[in-house]
Structure 1
């Protein structure tokens, strides 16, 4: 049915910018009504600031929660890296292995794709390190010879997975001249497993809260349409199509989503600022290795847009269902 621009819309209590039937072309009339619907729906939301603010705040909290958990998960991963997620694996050679054998073994390890670097520590360096430790300096003077072996400090690549590092450790244990390999692989695997659970939890939480946003917008639009069912019936009797009637509600959903997305970004930024100081103090303890991770700018920019789309979708689904009941 043809959309008829009305002189006054009972739905919003606003005057249409042009009276009577529009003499403009259909596309111009359609574009004009879109602009009017967007402004009229915004004015209506501003006319009830308390209710609008409460709805927007609830949606913003729902959107900010997955952002916050994503931020915390990223910082936990940074903390794991700083505290030793990719920690050095110590390879102790047999006491009979000399410097040339240690260098040859180190060269073989450097050629592996999962190895970032290999440092050779001589027995004298190990002895000097023990001498600097309290309680050992006196005992070392009684030794006739240096009993310490050559040690290779192998640093896996940051992008090497737990399985690759585990295979590397197993291969090093089977290398000729190797006496012992010390590796915190179990701790690394636990951390990676926990991070995997955390990522999945963030995805599930985000999906649930997206549904919550759809329900909040949908219920708000449903209540508004139900309270104006008689007015909507009159409009449809005089020739207004369902698309014409529901258009202001779709823009209302967009405004709800856009405002809640902007507020959710503000909440996420506040969380970042709240974490900055304690993480900075923690980073000082670990010689500056630990720094707070922040949400990427593209994600912060995408949240209001995605929220506006969710608001439109919630309003679209509920208004289509509700208008069928009214008609």
Structure 2
């Protein structure tokens, strides 16, 4: 059968297109990698590196434990100081830290006059609270606190005067506090006035000093933790130098090579934070008995507060972050210097 010239040209073009299509199907195919495939591959590699880092961590238990223990000691020192400050604040929690004015009255003052004077002070705008302590109540409290009950029982008369405990309303203005003290001293019933503002200021300054010492020690020892991790990761990199060269030779990037070392630093940090918490807990358990015995001798039920869940989370999270940062600094510097031959 013969075709016309246009029809023959059309058939020829169609056969040529079919031949090219078969040729393309039998050769290499160019495919695009989607974002989902890249994300799954990234997660898979992270999971593999995390498992591999844990395996390497437990493969050398002695070296890993010693490194984690050094990190734990460095972290436990500032944490112990902070915990000590917390227990100190709990010990003085019965005293709210506000300045208090003690007004000692004349021994000859009548109780009716004293109570009238106390009511008058309660109406003063400069006074927030007034507590009256009678001579009998003061003597009973002194007997309980001193332990000299038999000696005091042999006295002919009560040597203690009545006392008014005043809570000033404006505790920030020292000039107003001194003016109030002068006003109270000028009253006829007043024998003497004692303002414990200096003790409040000393206690506040002592607490602030402890907090700043704790913060400074924490910063210095955090740098020490980072140096420990940097040196440890540097040794790991040197031991795997040839492996890193091979990975880079087949196209591995610095980020790809750095990933397992980051997980190693994370493992060291987590282990160090957990050990630091265990050291704090052990210290509190060892000291709780003597502290409770000392408190009972003062008729107190005070007990030491141990490192709870917040300390555990804070220490492990902070140590893990320091380990990760130290590993990143060490790996970024040393891996970049290793190139395939």
Change beyond 3 A, Cα 1:139–1:84: farther
Q: Partner residue of 1:172?
A: 181
Asked whether the 8 Å contact 1:166–1:185 carries over to 2, the reply is no
Within the candidate set 70, 79, 87, 1:67 is matched to 79
Distance 1:135 1:312, change over 3 A: closer
Q: Partner of 2:214: helix, strand, or coil?
A: helix
2:255 maps to 243
Is residue 102 from structure 1 mapped to residue 111 from structure 2 by the alignment?
no
The answer on whether the counterparts of 2:277 and 2:307 sit within 8 Å (CA) in structure 1 is no
How many pairs are equivalent?
Answer: 295
Q: How does 1:155-304 map to 2 (within 5 A)?
A: 163=172, 168=177, 170-175=179-184, 177=187, 178-288=190-300, 290-304=302-316
TM-score, with structure 2 as normaliser: 0.74
Cross-structure match for 1:134:
151
The whole-number CA distance in structure 1 between the counterparts of 2:154 and 2:118 is: 29
Q: Which residue of 1 aligns with 2:67?
A: 55
User: Could you say what secondary structure the match of 2:151 adopts?
Assistant: coil
SS at match of 2:314: helix
Q: List runs of 5+ in structure 2 lacking aligned partners.
A: 1-32, 144-148
Q: CA RMSD in A?
A: 3.5
Superposed counterparts of 1:85-124, under 5 Å: 89-93=101-105, 98-108=113-123, 115=128, 117-122=129-134
- Is residue 38–residue 248 contact of structure 1 (8 Å, CA) maintained in 2? yes
Q: Does 1:78 align with 2:90?
A: yes
Render the CA deviation track for 1:234-292: whole Å, top value 9, x for unaligned. 21121011111111001001111111111111111112212211221122123225332
The answer for the alignment partner of 2:30 in structure 1 is none
C-alpha spacing 1:239/1:72, structure 2 compared with 1 (3 Å): same
Higher-Rg structure is 2
Q: Residue 102 of structure 1 contacts residue 120 of structure 1 at CA under 8 Å; is this kept in 2?
A: no
Residue segments in structure 1 that go unaligned for 5+ positions in a row: 1-21, 141-145
> Helix, strand or coil: the match of 2:192?
strand
Aligned residue in 1 for 2:40? 28
Is 266-275 or 199-208 further displaced after alignment?
A: 266-275
Kindly report which structure 2 residues correspond to 1:29-44, keeping only aligned pairs within 5 A, or say none: 29-44=41-56
- Normalised by the length of structure 1, the TM-score is 0.77
Q: Secondary structure at the match of 2:166?
A: strand
